[in-house]
Structure 1
Amino acid sequence: MSTNVKSLTNVHTTTEYRTYYYARVSSTGQNLTRQLEAFHKLGAEEREIITDKASGKDIGRPGYQALKTTLLRSGDTLIVTSLDRLSRKKEDIKAELQYFKENNIRLKILDIPTTLIDPPEGQEWIFDMVLNILIEVMSSIAEQERVTIRERQRQGIEALKHTSAWENYGRPNLKIPENYPEVMRRWTSGEITAVAAMNLTGIKRTTFYRLAAKYKKGELKL
């Protein structure tokens, strides 16, 4: 992972509002050129561009966090080429949009032209409206994804119920101890108690009786 965070000192020494640009690719093997070219066409200076080479699954990226905690201030503008540069998780995108709104940071997204329009003075509510719509859209997408995932899980469980794998669903694979056959022989012959058998094998009560039932039926492969 690489991060380019330039000019972290001497920022916001005046009340002048600033514009920053954020570019991200998922790995060091990928190229930032396309995003950087788009920024340069807008007149971006190198010191205004922050980059990360890190996965979009985690927003805790050094460059991005430096933007939020050190550089961006109320009234500033952040420009990205697309929403997924902020994150690939819909819930995280929604949270970041909300953060920018609450902190009065203008977000411009190059592939969403509506966000690039500068509203006339006194009509900043237009930008707020666009941001609210984006937040609602991202919320709806995230919620739909959660519903879809839950439904797929439910369908998978229903299908699993009709297979032999259902009996062990949700249980970690249990390693049968080497002394299990001998201990079970002694238990079934009445030589030792069930509690003693559990202690000797290290198997908990519920699992012990579940395995014992299979053992007695000859279904347990040892």
Structure 2
Amino acid sequence: MSGKKMAYARVSSTSQSLDRQIEELKKYVDESNIIVDKASGKDLNRNGFQALKSPLGLRKGDTLIIKSLDRLSRNKADIKNELEWFKSNHVNLQILDLPTTMIQLPSGQEWIRDMVNNIIIEVMSSIAEQERLTIRQRQKEGIDIAKKQGKHMGRPSLEKPVEWEKYYDMWKRGNISAKKAMEFLNLKKTSFYKLVSEK
């Protein structure tokens, strides 16, 4: 299949590194042709991936290379929809961890590769989704255990300054402006109004 070759790499968060995937993909495409995302695989709302599917992205006859199937998504339904998009748009998808997708067959025999890939991808997409559900369940269990142990989850609660009531009352009565109250209490605007909302 002729056309340009692109590659796509993804990690789930900004704290994770794309280096390992990029090094692998550079064996097949120039680094300038590698599109990256640092975003969860739970859905497809990712800037880099959507750019690949835009009118300026992949076209008929092009090839997209990814390290593994779960770089597309960890949602089974989304994976199936995306594979259908590649097929209907005549974009060749090659997955490094799935060697059968890398095989070049004579014209007219592509159905053999497609048949094998369909079976393997069905299994792998099921595994990817199950891993996502397992991670979510473990996170929930961890939060539940922490709550039972009295540990606070999320951002630490905002403590009221010692003279909060005094300056809050003055502000409420209109004796001082909100800006002055913030100055006296040494609070930022967001912190001040957060405490106000908790009254």
Q: Output the TM-score relative to the length of structure 1.
A: 0.52
Is 2:30 aligned against 1:54? no
Deviation at 1:51, TM superposition (A): 0.3
CA–CA distance in structure 2, aligned partners of residues 51 and 119 of structure 1: 29
Q: 2:111 maps to which residue? A: 125
Deviation at 1:121, TM superposition (A): 3.0
Deviation at 1:82, TM superposition (A): 0.4
Kept in 2, the 8 Å contact 1:94–1:138? The answer is no
Q: 2:98 maps to which residue? A: 112
Matches within 5 A, 1:157-176: none
How many residues align? The count is 129
Larger Rg: 1
Q: 1:65 maps to which residue? A: 50
AA partner of residue 73 (structure 2): S
Identify the match of residue 87 of structure 1 among 59, 70, 73.
73
CA–CA distance in structure 2, aligned partners of residues 111 and 58 of structure 1: 21
AA partner of residue 24 (structure 1): R
CA–CA distance in structure 2, aligned partners of residues 80 and 115 of structure 1: 11
Kept in 2, the 8 Å contact 1:93–1:138? The answer is no
CA–CA distance in structure 2, aligned partners of residues 71 and 126 of structure 1: 28
CA–CA distance in structure 1, aligned partners of residues 10 and 65 of structure 2: 12
Deviation at 1:120, TM superposition (A): 1.9
Q: Percent identity?
A: 60
Deviation at 1:132, TM superposition (A): 3.1
Q: Output the TM-score relative to the length of structure 2.
A: 0.58
Is 2:53 aligned against 1:45? no
Deviation at 1:134, TM superposition (A): 4.4
Residue aligned with 1:55, SS: coil
Q: 2:17 maps to which residue? A: 31
Instruction: Render the CA deviation track for 1:51-105: whole Å, top value 9, x for unaligned.
Output: 0011111211000000011311111111100011001111111111111112111
AA partner of residue 92 (structure 1): D
Give unmatched runs, 5+ long, in structure 2: 131-199
Kept in 2, the 8 Å contact 1:77–1:106? The answer is yes
